[in-house]
A and B are shown apart, each in its own frame.
Chain A
Amino acid sequence: MTFNRQYSIVNSQLSILLAFLRRDILNEISYKLSFFLQLLAIFPVVLMFFFLSRLVGATISGPLEPYGGNYFPFVLIGIAVQNYLTLSLSRFSGSLRESQLSGTLEAVLVTPVRLPSFLIGSTAYSFVFNALRIFIYLAIGSLLFHVNFNWARLPAAIGVIGLTIAAFSCLGIFSASFIMLFKRGDPINWGFNVISWLLGGVYYPVNILPLWLQKVAYVIPMTHSLEALRLILLTDHRFSGLLDHLLVLGLWGAIGLPASLLCFRYALNRARIQGTLGHY
């Protein structure tokens, strides 16, 4: 394939992604109140965890030592990322379900749009908007509650979030495959969310779990994403110490993404064979 041809394909796929993004932005801002309420809802959550941190902070400062020893910044990163991943991941199946209900799924799939572009495009808005929410969580913590984040290392944190998206997207795509086949119910998303907030170190450090549960925790990407982000933003830990976490996230993405795409392709074909593509 010539360079020009490759450039033209990449360019056209980017234009398609932008079209999905534009569509979802137009749709979201048409619900003006909801749009602002979503952002406003962050404040009471942060406030609640601020007071909670005053209650529990001192008692668990030992296990928090690797992350600077303070509970509030620790949990702030935890809830921001967990919120991000929950909302973004549910978008894969949610967007598919919405398009089945609204009847737009067939209208989109009858165009020559490629499967990866369709999947990424359908969720792009959610990933972008929810990334803004993470920033708002951290900004509120920093401006109103004087949390000292290592802002100079923000680009590294954005890199980790990028790897995290790749690692978690496969779970979202598996979940969308389930919706494509069975139309309702989403056990993959539900199960994974529960495991992530229970074992991923969202509210408490993984090192307080029993040893056998710690081993399970270090299999799931949430643990590695949070560990890496906390070490980057809350400490002066050297980047070389993050390699293990980045490697696990990278492996999840490298193996999980192609596998989930295959799974979605299979589910799509099953729906096309059964004639149930637009059913809900």
Chain B
Amino acid sequence: MDSEKYAIQCVGLKKAFGNRPALQDIHFSVNEGNIFALVGPNGAGKTTLLKILASLIVPTGGEVFVCGHDVIRNPIQAKSKIGFVPSEERSFYWRLSGRQNLKFFASLHNIQGQERNRRVNAALEAVGLGDKGNIRFREYSSGMKQALGIARGILHDPPVLLLDEPTRSLSPDVAGKIRKLLNNKAKKEGKAILIASHNLKEVEELADRISIIHHGVIKALGSLSDIKTLAGLSPSADLHSLFKHFTHNH
């Protein structure tokens, strides 16, 4: 089956909220070990697409597969393969420490006992919160909260990571550390990573393939050089000019 070849596959995906189309005829796939970036203006449909992949939103039409599991028909199996990092900071229990929060979410992934402690420590360490795990979440800074979200996403070692603006509130040094972490996750551990981001420099640095999405429609898809060719812009053009080209001219 085709879907089993890809870590993520969307086939003719559509979503409408009432009469308002949010996504139209979305086709793309992400291979293991690849970083795929979704860029687009606010309201383009990036978060909706991520939430469909995480089975938090049901699409109106089309098919979505994660590691060969149909997200609509077998959400439990699909969700066990996903690490989802939302853009919102307020998805933790504020009166619990970072460590207690991660232990709770690890248990929901059926990780128990010593293995749970080991994974929680490793995840905290990976995002630079190794010595801050016992502080209550409510006392975390915005950047620490976001870093904890990433720690939760990688906690159960999923083959697919979905990240919505993962470095938005992070300081440049921590953002650099997270980019390095994501790159290692893809290139060394073979994870498939899908990032929605407004940070075009970051996308240029990280992504193997990019999709520019506007009004719920994919306007361009491919490597940076593919998209430059598609736009007919010079090879020196950066993603910012490509972004303007596809979102202002359409």
Q: Chain A: residues with CB nearer than 8 A to chain B?
A: 12, 15-16, 18-20, 22-23, 26-27, 30-31, 102-104, 106-114, 269, 272-275, 277-278
Which of B51, B79, B93, B95 is within 8 Å of A275, CB to CB?
B51
B79 close to A110 (CB less than 8 A) = yes
15 other A-B residue contacts (CB within 8 Å) besides A106-B56, A274-B17: A12-B110, A15-B112, A19-B103, A19-B107, A26-B96, A31-B95, A103-B90, A107-B91, A107-B92, A107-B105, A110-B55, A112-B79, A275-B51, A277-B57, A278-B56
Contact A112 B80 (CB under 8 A): yes
**Pair count A-B, CB < 8 A:** 84
A4 to B203, CA, bound (A): 46
Complex CA distance for A165 and B55, rounded to whole angstroms: 31
Question: Which size class do B's interface residues fall under?
Answer: 20 to 34
User: What separation, in Å, do the CA atoms of A102 and B91 have in the docked complex?
Assistant: 6
B108 engages A103 (CB within 8 Å): no
Residues of B near any A CB (own CB < 8 A): 17, 22, 48, 51, 54-58, 76-77, 79-80, 82, 84, 86, 88, 90-96, 100, 103-105, 107-110, 112, 152
CB-defined contacts of A107 to chain B, threshold 8 Å = 84, 86, 91-92, 105, 152
A104 cross-chain contacts in B, Cβ below 8 A: 91-93
Residues of A contacting B22 in the complex (Cβ-Cβ under 8 angstroms): 275
Cα(A153)–Cα(B204), bound, Å: 72
Contact of A111 among B17, B79, B92, B95 (CB under 8 A): B79
Instruction: Report how far A97 CA is from B206 CA in the complex, Å.
Output: 38
Are A22 and B56 neighbours in the complex by a CB distance under 8 Å?
no
B91 to A16, Cβ gap below 8 A?
A: no
Given A19-B104, A19-B107, A26-B100, verify A110-B56 contact (CB < 8 Å).
yes
Across the interface, do B57 and A111 meet the contact criterion of CB distance under 8 Å?
A: no
**Minimum C-beta distance from B95 to chain A (A):** 4
C-alpha gap A114/B93 in the complex (Å): 20
Shortest Cβ distance from A11 into chain B, in angstroms? 9
Bound form: Cα–Cα A16–B110 in Å: 7
Given contacts A16-B107, A19-B107, A274-B17, whether A27 and B95 have CB atoms under 8 Å apart is: yes
